[in-house]
């Protein structure tokens, strides 16, 4: 474990340390977070989220390790699943194996302490709201562009969870009737057009077609179109590959159309775009802003919500989960 | 004016009478509403909403008339426009001529009293939440199916207006990229597929094609396809015309897909469907429920929000506007 604090926490902050755990697709990341959102200790384990038992073991081990080294007052876990309103059950996960998984009870029984379990995108959005690019906005929408699209809403300083705990699943809005099949069971979900999976699919298609455009993509993939991922496209685009930049531009357009739909329904004051694909920066966000402005209903007669990049990077989820656990613990006292 | 009350109001209710005014496309309706949401007096004037000056005259006349006959403590106006957050300016109206119209200040200056101006769909949704099919729901989404789609959200007993006052414009979500042109400037907005305008357009297309299916529609329209409206299709469907029922079924499917999108983003506990087209009842709502269940992301692992018909009928807007004005006046005291 890296014990070097990013900066010296105040004595007050030390007194309210919270552990945040972020369960990603291939790894579990954990961090000790102080009241100012600073990660003062961290660890990461390679654990595939498809193996629920291994994830559970990893979480238990991390909580024990950090509890031995710090005075941890609260523990928050961000999981890529749909939590029920009480936060006790992972109802469903489009990308993982959980179905009605009583994650919180399982962990609390093993750890003998209270645990907060939240949707990973809600955790990341909360992190950006409290300490990142979403501060001081009364209606904030956060989009996490990873394998799929994660979403969260903060309204008047509170996460908006919906009637059943499932608000913010923006990625599963049907945006193209009879479009690409989505893991959720629908066709044409937004995340089939604006996500890492979508970017990889389009790039593989381009490479398979042996288009002259795709030569750098193919070279970077060792000649095998099938190993091209969204992350590779993003990296090549940042490195100047014209084809990868075109693919990001296409995806940015879909991103902007979906954001305009969210403005029609929700009218947020700001959009914060995070997740791995946000590493593309303005290569993605500029086309998104253009398409957003072009598809915003009432344009010309309304304020235009800014679309900005997240600032917490890969820490957003664990920082947000830790802070939500801290807030929840405080409200119980 | 019809002075016969629907039922005898209590003395308490008499003391807090509020006037609600609903500005429709072709008429202005007003009603004196007591604290229990009962309309105890009402009037209607044929005034085209495209004539902003005439609408203003009508409102002023109605407020004067009712104020002479009742002790009106508050006045609320529902207008088919997008209000800024302060409720002072109609920023834009997709179907009417208002552009940055300072409606409230104009009316307050002429009437010498405070006026509340709200979006007509917000007024209708609030009416259903307080006194109709949306009572006791913590996250309520109301859809008004008229010429277009009006929408409103009630969250924890408050209208959700968004950061700039423009939340709930569900009808302008792009649901079909490059689809039908919308008055808002976009293509493929939901209301181009699920509204009175959409129903009329599809029926006129069917009738123009001289399809044998369309013979009753054409007969009812005196042989002229161009005079067929959504209201006519709705009436013929209720009367048993198979073609009109097919058209409503198609529209119900689009309605359900759009509602599933709203569940993905907002996760409401109930959908209330009002407006003129809701007269079709289950001819519209059953196909909508079917499509909703088929397109709800996470289906099988989540509660399914009921889709129910509004119960206040054409009064929803004026009852809701009156009640919002009453609540607003009370909060100032």
**Mutation test of the interface with chain B: which of A82, A85, A163, A192, choosing the one with the most B Cβ atoms within 10 A?**
A163
**Is residue B280 included in any domain, yes or no?**
yes
Contact B96, B47 (CB under 8 A): no
* pLDDT value for A97: 74
Number of H helices, E strands in chain A: 10, 13
* pLDDT value for B95: 67
Do residue B302 and residue B264 come from a single domain? yes
Q: Cα(A179)–Cα(B313) distance, rounded to whole angstroms?
A: 37
* pLDDT value for B94: 66
In angstroms, the separation between the Cα of residue A252 and the nearest Cα of chain B is 15
Query: Where residue B74 falls among pLDDT bands split at 50, 70, 90?
Result: very high
Among the partner-chain residues B264, B265, B267, the one whose CB lies closest to the CB of A163 is B267
**Is residue B226 included in any domain, yes or no?**
yes
Contact A97, A52 (CB under 8 A): yes
Do residue B121 and residue B171 come from a single domain? no
**Is residue A1 included in any domain, yes or no?**
no
Give residue-wise pLDDT tens across range B211-223. 899 999 999 999 9
Are residues B267 and A151, on separate chains, in Cβ contact within 8 Å? no
Are residues A174 and B268, on separate chains, in Cβ contact within 8 Å? no
**Nearest one of B270, B173, B160, B88 to A139, comparing CA atoms:** B160
Do residue B115 and residue B154 come from a single domain? no
Do residue A84 and residue A153 come from a single domain? no
In angstroms, the separation between the Cα of residue B221 and the nearest Cα of chain A is 33
**Mutation test of the interface with chain B: which of A188, A292, A293, A301, choosing the one with the most B Cβ atoms within 10 A?**
A301
Contact B261, B173 (CB under 8 A): yes
**Mutation test of the interface with chain B: which of A84, A142, A166, choosing the one with the most B Cβ atoms within 10 A?**
A166
C-alpha pair distances (Å), A47 with each of A28, A89, A147, A278: 6, 21, 17, 24
**Is residue B59 included in any domain, yes or no?**
yes
* pLDDT value for B49: 79
Give residue-wise pLDDT tens across range B96-106. 778 888 999 99
Give A-chain residues touching B298 at CB under 8 angstroms.
82, 91-92, 94, 166, 169, 172, 184
Are residues A186 and B295, on separate chains, in Cβ contact within 8 Å? yes
The length of chain A is 333
Give B-chain residues touching A302 at CB under 8 angstroms.
82, 91-92, 164, 166
- The first and second tokens of residue A72, run together, are 């941890």
Give B-chain residues touching A139 at CB under 8 angstroms.
162-163, 167
B165 torsion bin: left (phi>0), alpha (psi -120 to 50), beta (else):
left
Do residue B146 and residue B95 come from a single domain? no
Among the partner-chain residues B91, B138, B269, the one whose CB lies closest to the CB of A302 is B91
B32, pLDDT greater than 70:
yes
Give A-chain residues touching B97 at CB under 8 angstroms.
none
Contact B115, B62 (CB under 8 A): no
**Is residue A5 included in any domain, yes or no?**
no
Do residue B165 and residue B255 come from a single domain? yes
Do residue B195 and residue B228 come from a single domain? yes
Are residues B164 and A302, on separate chains, in Cβ contact within 8 Å? yes
Are residues A267 and B184, on separate chains, in Cβ contact within 8 Å? no
Are residues B298 and A160, on separate chains, in Cβ contact within 8 Å? no
Are residues B174 and A169, on separate chains, in Cβ contact within 8 Å? no
DSSP-assigned letters across all residues of B92-131: E-SSSS-EEE-HHHHHHHHHTS--EEEEHHHHHHHHHHHH
Do residue B142 and residue B24 come from a single domain? no
Are residues B268 and A162, on separate chains, in Cβ contact within 8 Å? yes
Are residues A164 and B269, on separate chains, in Cβ contact within 8 Å? yes
Which chain B residue is nearest to residue A253, measuring alpha carbons? Answer: B177
* pLDDT value for B5: 44
Which chain A residue is nearest to residue B291, measuring alpha carbons? Answer: A186
Among the partner-chain residues A172, A186, A297, the one whose CB lies closest to the CB of B184 is A297
**Is residue B5 included in any domain, yes or no?**
no
More confident residue, B95 or B199: B199
Do residue B95 and residue B24 come from a single domain? yes
B42, pLDDT greater than 50:
yes
Residue-number span of the structural domain to which B154 is assigned? 136-311
Q: Cα(B254)–Cα(B106) distance, rounded to whole angstroms?
A: 39
Strands A158-159 and A149-155: antiparallel
Which chain A residue is nearest to residue B162, measuring alpha carbons? Answer: A267
pLDDT less than 70: residues of chain A: 1-15, 94-95, 333
**Is residue A83 included in any domain, yes or no?**
yes
**Is residue A87 included in any domain, yes or no?**
yes
Q: What are phi and psi of B329, to 5 degrees?
A: -65, -40
Range with lowest mean pLDDT among B98-107, B112-121, B244-253, B271-280: B98-107
Do residue B326 and residue B225 come from a single domain? no
* pLDDT value for B101: 87
Give A-chain residues touching B265 at CB under 8 angstroms.
151, 167-170, 173, 262, 265-266
Sheet with B99-101, edge to edge strand ranges: B82-83, B90-92, B99-101
* pLDDT value for B225: 96
Number of domains in chain B: 2
More confident residue, B308 or B15: B308
Query: Where residue B15 falls among pLDDT bands split at 50, 70, 90?
Result: low
CA atoms within 13 A on the CB side of A125: 30
Query: Where residue B195 falls among pLDDT bands split at 50, 70, 90?
Result: very high
CATH code at position A202: 3.30.420.40
Are residues A267 and B165, on separate chains, in Cβ contact within 8 Å? yes
Do residue B152 and residue B208 come from a single domain? yes
Among the partner-chain residues B184, B267, B300, the one whose CB lies closest to the CB of A166 is B267
Do residue B153 and residue B22 come from a single domain? no
Burial class for A209, CB neighbours closer than 10 Å (0-12, 13-18, 19+): exposed
């Amino acid at each position: 474990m890296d014990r070097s604090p990013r900066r010296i926490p105040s004595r007050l902050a030390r007194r309210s340390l919270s552990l945040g755990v972020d369960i990603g697709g291939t790894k579990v990341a954990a961090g000790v977070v102080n009241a100012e959102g600073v990660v003062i200790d961290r660890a990461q384990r390679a654990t595939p989220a498809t193996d629920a038992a291994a994830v559970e073991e990893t979480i238990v081990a991390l909580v024990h390790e950090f509890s031995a080294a710090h005075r941890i007052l609260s523990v928050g876990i961000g999981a890529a699943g749909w939590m029920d309103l009480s936060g006790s059950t992972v109802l469903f996960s489009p990308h993982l194996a959980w179905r009605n998984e009583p994650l919180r009870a399982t962990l609390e029984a093993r750890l003998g302490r209270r645990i907060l379990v939240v949707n990973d995108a809600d955790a990341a959005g909360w992190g950006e709201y409290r300490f990142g690019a979403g501060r001081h906005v009364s209606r904030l929408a956060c989009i996490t562009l990873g394998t799929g699209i994660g979403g969260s809403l903060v309204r008047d300083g509170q996460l908006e969870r919906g009637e059943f705990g499932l608000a913010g699943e923006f990625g599963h809005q049907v945006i193209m009737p009879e479009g690409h099949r989505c893991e959720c069971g629908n066709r044409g979900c937004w995340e089939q057009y604006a996500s890492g999976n979508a970017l990889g699919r389009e790039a593989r298609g381009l490479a398979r077609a042996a288009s002259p455009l795709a030569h750098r993509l193919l070279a970077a993939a060792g000649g095998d179109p099938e190993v091209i991922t969204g992350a590779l496209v993003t990296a090549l685009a940042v490195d100047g590959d014209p084809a990868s930049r075109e693919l990001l531009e296409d995806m940015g357009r879909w991103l902007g159309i979906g954001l305009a739909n969210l403005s029609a329904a929700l009218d947020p004051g700001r959009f914060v775009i995070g997740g791995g694909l946000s590493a593309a920066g303005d290569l993605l966000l500029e086309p998104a802003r253009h398409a957003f402005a072009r598809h915003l209903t009432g344009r010309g007669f309304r304020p235009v919500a800014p679309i900005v990049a997240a600032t917490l990077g890969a820490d957003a989820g664990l920082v947000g989960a830790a802070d939500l656990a801290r807030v929840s613990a405080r409200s119980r006292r």
